[in-house]
Structure 1
Amino acid sequence: MLQFGTMLKRRREYDCTTGSTERSKPHDLVDTLEEQFGHLSTSGQGVWSELSKEVASKLSRSVFVIASFNGDEMRCSCSGIVIHWRPRLVTLLTSASLVRSLHDERKIDKDLTIRAWNQHCQYVDGWLEQYDLRYNIALVNVPAPVFLCPASLHHQIQLESGSKVVAVGCLFNSRKLMATSGVVMDKVSRFDTEEFLISTCKISKAGTGGPLVDFNGNFLGMNLYDAEQTTFLRRNIIIKRLERLGIFQPQNKQGGGCSSDILVRSTDSGVYLYANSYFDPEVPIDTVHKKLRSLGYPVPEKNCGGMKLVNRFEEKFPYMDGSCRSVLKDLSEEVALNLSCSVVSLASFNANTRLFACTGILIECTSVLTSASLVRSSDDENKIDDDLRIEVRLPNKQFVTGKLQHYNLHYNLAVVNIMASPDLHTAKFYHDVEFEPCCKVVAVGRIFGGGSLTATSGTLTDEPSKFDCAELLTSTCTITKAGIGGPLVDFDGNFIGMNFYDEENTPFIPRNVILECLRHFETERSITASSTNIDCSLNRWPVPKPYWVYPASDWDFQKINLRAAPPPMLL
């Protein structure tokens, strides 16, 4: 076997994703990711006419398409196959090109968003569970409310030169399942190692990471795109790597007491906790509980297999139409850019324990408008906690210290002062704009943990909010807790109000009320408990607490998936 450095060097010379010795630009790459190969499963032609209905049906349920995104830009699209199923969760095998860094192929890009789709699911968020860059393997976890058939990895089929094989893949945007047939060759792949073989199956880039199977549907290897020849990683090598990564091994119940299926894995950037997977004894459960508490989350029950942590601060806004397309694509380039440069995320800390996280918007060069929930005392919500540390995550993902400048507990507003930054852009806050029910609007937030922007659209309603504050209005935008304090804007980017969280219609405090509060702040130089003479206790601003739950049904799971997938990264 080649040494790691030699093997990696040859892989740098040839990119498995682009099929070229030169990196394609992102927009060029996307143009080629929808290139079809072979025949479509719906055509009944080509290899599909040779497969039995049972095998074709099994492939349609087990082959996924997976894409990674940097913000709204698709970075890479691969195919993958189900190799492990647990109730409501599957693990997909695919190519590590999905997450490999563009700047250093020996590393992964940890800030990518992963989305997946197969013929029996809508688009769903997935997350990287394990990877092996040496063998170009990535394992992605994806929520699955129904049973999905894992690939047949453990069989006695011997792969020989001349064996007839089938390569299967899927397109991300059109969601077309494709297959083409060929034979195994006795030539050596360009990797010059016995782990990688060649078939005559001609695939497109969309087939990268897809399965190579025989005509009975038995899994034989994972395909890697090559403009000249299709290389595949052999099944027996994949099984050995999966065993080393903790897949297909009996549960190990050592290491601190979580007796059910849970994986706790340490990485360079933190500790990951996954429900419904395997337990890694290298990370004691006490360490996991400590990380959970540092994020302000409760620890799960001892019997925690299959549970989901609901109401986290890391949840992106759901795409209600099931697509992967961000609503920011519907805005003009100028409006989208201005929003991305004016929306920040904030978190408050008591020592090293995070208490709250939310979104804010820059209203002046050093002033961020956000929710006063950021600084409310946990002992008395009618007071603030003066001892909290505020951190602000800027659009460039840098952290700066924030200082509470003003707040109004009656209207749940706060203004946080930060240092000026050339990367920031003030919002279109002072534009006088009229709005009425049914106007289309956009709610924007930024996730504190990863720094990514999230947005969703909706319309204004004439329905009152369930909160106490009489001045609140509502929109149909569906946000998460991360969107508290974030802006509601029209499609020209004009500020309409500041959002709060509710599971139904999203309440927001309109611009005119906010401006009145800000004018009072100009005359009230010191931090004031309330900018009005109204008793602060009259208005309540409930924020749901995080908790662990067993999904009771597929519908409950889908609702939780929209607001709580993927499981948290414990920083």
Structure 2
Amino acid sequence: SPTSPGNRFSGILLDSAEVLPSTNPATAGQLVSKAGLERSMTKNKRRLMRGDEEQQRPYKRATRPRALSELSEQVVSRLRRSVVFLASFDGDTKLRECTGICIETSCSDSEATILTSRRLVPPTWPASLTIKVRLPNDQIVTGWIEDPGIYVDFFIVNIKEVSRVDATSLDRDIQFEPHTKAAAVCRCFSSGFLTVTSGLNLASPTSETIVSTCWIHKAGIGGPLVDFDGNFVGMNSSRTKMEKTAYVRRKQILRFLVFHGMVSVKEGVDDATQARINSEMKAIRPSLDATSIARLSESRKGALSEQVLARLSKSVAALASFHGDTKLRECTGICIESSCPGVTSFLTSINLIPLTWRASKITKNLKIKVRLLNDETVTGWIADPEIYVDFFIVNVAGVNATHVSLDRDMQFEPYRKVAAVCRNFNSGLLMDTSGVDLASPSALPDQTMFSTCQIDK
């Protein structure tokens, strides 16, 4: 239709829909229908209404009742009795809030320990900090953190008056298959409601990326990640932009607790395990009686011949970590083949360096000394320390040592006699203790193995 001089635009009637120019600058010059504009405004109105509801109920998106119903009643009941909510306060001002789970430790019967995220407390750590814990029975108690400086990824919060809280054990060495269903558990501080989100555990035994697809609210950080049988997989540590949740593995948490004496290490084996060992040893070596089995399992010092010790002495070294002139840890290591020219590599334990040391701190401030056969002490380094989980590779330059090959695919008979070898860092002496390899023929490749050889720290 013709445009009148006083109008900037004209309406065009086309298929009974009035068409208007777009009000979006990005689509200037384009035309939209009036009906389409009304539909868009209606959608925006609904979106705003949903936003208001979510602000009033901030945990609704994380609730997902369908995920809670996927778990059995027994699993949900156990989680209700062990999952708590924590909040940090500066006076009456709430600072942070996280989920936590009560775990078994060596604390007294009148106390309980709560595993939660390091994010519970701001880095500034106010002088008037208090920690409140909401228990499953809606009781709110005060908690505290002993030696907060030793923690990196999580905190252990201690509380009293804990008769109605069940503790979860972390020493069940369960192997979790990758890409299996898992659930992230959260408890709301204000309401006390337990919420669960389900997803997949994306971490494999060899994976460096430890995440799941369980979406969690910010307050769910610190809560447990469990499988659908309720077994503890790890602690949810942070959210990612890709709607994945990073978590700290159970094994890493347990290793930290053992080192700091928060859990007691079980000595020996239980009756059921010993009965299985005896049965399998008898099947492998029918001539052995119970007395012979007990004698084989006994750990003894000085069992290796002088010839074997002479060969090992050329490969076994003592290592120690230092911060300035202060010795932190010491371990034994063995020289292994290296593909780097001019570099000698030693395989040693992850315990050579305190768990509280971050990778950047290791490369900048830590010094590693290696004591060799001839009592020479050289300085070593660890390349890419963040890639290791159970062991370290320490490199030294300009050293001649006899390396041990790891690519000889030998089949070891189970329950055979073995020896553990160590070298003392201060004296340089080489020592050995004998025992029996307890690895079962049915053990999984990534399962933790044991022997009866007793060693010093």
TM-score tier, shorter chain, comes to 0.3 to 0.5
TM-score (norm 1): 0.35
Computing the radius of gyration from Cα coordinates, the structure with the larger value is 2
TM-score (norm 2): 0.43
Structure with the largest fraction of helix? 2
